[in-house]
Structure 1
Amino acid sequence: MVKKHFKISGVGCALVDYLFTPVNFSGETFSRYISVRPGDGGLSPGKLVFRDEFEAFSGRDYMEVRELLTAGNSPLTLNIGGPSIVSLIHAAQMLDGTVAEVYFYGSKGRDKDALFIDERLQKTPLKTGKYKVSDQYTAFTDVLSDPGYDQGLGERIFINNIGAAWDLYPEDMDEAFFESDMVIFGGTALVPHIHRSLLELLKKAKAKKSVTVVNTVYDFLNERSNPGKAWPLGSTVETYRYIDLLIADMEEALRLSGQATIAEALSFFKRTGVGAVIVTHGANPLYYFCNSKLFGRAEGCKLVSERVRNEIVLYPERVGDTTGCGDNFAGGAIASIAEQMMDPHKERVNIDEVIAWATVSGGYACFYHGGTFYEEYPGQKRELIEPYYRDYQLQKTNRPFIPDYR
Structure 2
Amino acid sequence: MLKKKITVSGTGCCLVDRLYNNVSFYSNAFLSYSSKKRGDGGLSPGHLVLKEEFEEYTKKNFQVILNELTAGRAPDKINVGGPCIVALIHAAQITFGLNSEIKFYGCHGPDENGSFLLSSLQKLPVNISHFKQMGNLTPSTDVLSDPSYDNGHGERVFVNSIGSAWDYSPENLDNNFFKSDIVVFGGSALVPQIHDNLVELLQQSKENGCITLVNTVFDFVNEKANPHKRWPLGKNDESYPNIDLLITDRDEALRLSGEKSIEKAMQFFIEKQTGAVIITNGAKNVLLYAGNELFGRVEMRELPVSDAISKRIREKVYNGDTTGCGDNFVGGVIGSLMFQLNEGKMKLDLEAATTLGIVSGSYACLYIGGTYFEKYPGEKYELMTPVLNDYKKQIK
TM bucket normalised to smaller:
over 0.9
SS in 1 for 2:176: helix
8 A Cα contact 1:123 1:375, kept in partner: no
Structure 1 partner of 2:289? 289
Percent of paired sites with the same residue: 48
Structure 1 partner of 2:353? 354
How far apart, CA to CA, are the structure 2 residues paired with 1:28 and 1:379? 44
Deviation at 1:347, TM superposition (A): 2.9
How far apart, CA to CA, are the structure 2 residues paired with 1:54 and 1:84? 24
Deviation at 1:21, TM superposition (A): 1.4
Counterpart amino acid of residue 311 in structure 1: R
How far apart, CA to CA, are the structure 1 residues paired with 2:341 and 2:252? 28
How far apart, CA to CA, are the structure 1 residues paired with 2:202 and 2:341? 19
Counterpart amino acid of residue 251 in structure 1: D
Deviation at 1:28, TM superposition (A): 1.1
Structure 1 partner of 2:93? 93
How far apart, CA to CA, are the structure 1 residues paired with 2:73 and 2:141? 16
Deviation at 1:172, TM superposition (A): 0.7
Counterpart amino acid of residue 227 in structure 2: P
SS in 1 for 2:183: strand
Which whole-Å deviations, capped at 9, do the CAs of 1:299-322 have from their partners, x for residues lacking one?
2011000011001122x2513110
Deviation at 1:143, TM superposition (A): 0.5
Structure 1 partner of 2:190? 190
Deviation at 1:263, TM superposition (A): 2.1
How far apart, CA to CA, are the structure 1 residues paired with 2:135 and 2:27? 39
8 A Cα contact 1:325 1:366, kept in partner: yes
174-183 or 335-344, larger mean C-alpha shift: 335-344
Matches within 5 A, 1:3-402: 3-298=3-298, 299-314=300-315, 316-344=316-344, 346-397=345-396
How far apart, CA to CA, are the structure 2 residues paired with 1:124 and 1:132? 17
8 A Cα contact 1:15 1:138, kept in partner: yes
Which whole-Å deviations, capped at 9, do the CAs of 1:138-177 have from their partners, x for residues lacking one?
0010001111111111111000000010110011100011
74-83 or 258-267, larger mean C-alpha shift: 258-267
How far apart, CA to CA, are the structure 2 residues paired with 1:21 and 1:306? 24
How far apart, CA to CA, are the structure 1 residues paired with 2:28 and 2:233? 37
8 A Cα contact 2:308 2:387, kept in partner: yes
SS in 2 for 1:278: strand
Counterpart amino acid of residue 303 in structure 1: P
How far apart, CA to CA, are the structure 2 residues paired with 1:79 and 1:49? 19
Which whole-Å deviations, capped at 9, do the CAs of 1:312-363 have from their partners, x for residues lacking one?
122x25131100000000010011111101112x331111100110001000
Which whole-Å deviations, capped at 9, do the CAs of 1:209-267 have from their partners, x for residues lacking one?
00000000000000101112110011221110110000000010011011112222111
How far apart, CA to CA, are the structure 2 residues paired with 1:226 and 1:109? 30
How far apart, CA to CA, are the structure 2 residues paired with 1:206 and 1:105? 18
SS in 2 for 1:300: strand
8 A Cα contact 2:19 2:78, kept in partner: yes
8 A Cα contact 2:6 2:341, kept in partner: no
8 A Cα contact 1:198 1:233, kept in partner: yes
How far apart, CA to CA, are the structure 1 residues paired with 2:317 and 2:273? 45
8 A Cα contact 2:287 2:301, kept in partner: yes
Deviation at 1:288, TM superposition (A): 1.0
8 A Cα contact 2:89 2:124, kept in partner: yes
8 A Cα contact 1:332 1:358, kept in partner: yes
TM-score by length of 2: 0.98
210-219 or 19-28, larger mean C-alpha shift: 19-28
How far apart, CA to CA, are the structure 1 residues paired with 2:334 and 2:150? 29
8 A Cα contact 1:132 1:168, kept in partner: no
TM-score by length of 1: 0.96
8 A Cα contact 2:135 2:163, kept in partner: no
How far apart, CA to CA, are the structure 1 residues paired with 2:53 and 2:317? 36
SS in 2 for 1:128: strand
SS in 2 for 1:45: coil
Counterpart amino acid of residue 313 in structure 1: R
Deviation at 1:2, TM superposition (A): 6.0
Deviation at 1:129, TM superposition (A): 4.1
How far apart, CA to CA, are the structure 1 residues paired with 2:183 and 2:157? 29
How far apart, CA to CA, are the structure 1 residues paired with 2:200 and 2:2? 32
How far apart, CA to CA, are the structure 1 residues paired with 2:87 and 2:245? 14
How far apart, CA to CA, are the structure 1 residues paired with 2:183 and 2:137? 27
8 A Cα contact 1:134 1:164, kept in partner: yes
How far apart, CA to CA, are the structure 1 residues paired with 2:302 and 2:317? 31
How far apart, CA to CA, are the structure 1 residues paired with 2:235 and 2:146? 36
Counterpart amino acid of residue 60 in structure 1: K
8 A Cα contact 1:250 1:262, kept in partner: yes
8 A Cα contact 1:341 1:348, kept in partner: no
Deviation at 1:135, TM superposition (A): 2.8
How far apart, CA to CA, are the structure 1 residues paired with 2:244 and 2:134? 32
How far apart, CA to CA, are the structure 2 residues paired with 1:187 and 1:329? 14
How far apart, CA to CA, are the structure 2 residues paired with 1:325 and 1:274? 24
SS in 2 for 1:385: helix
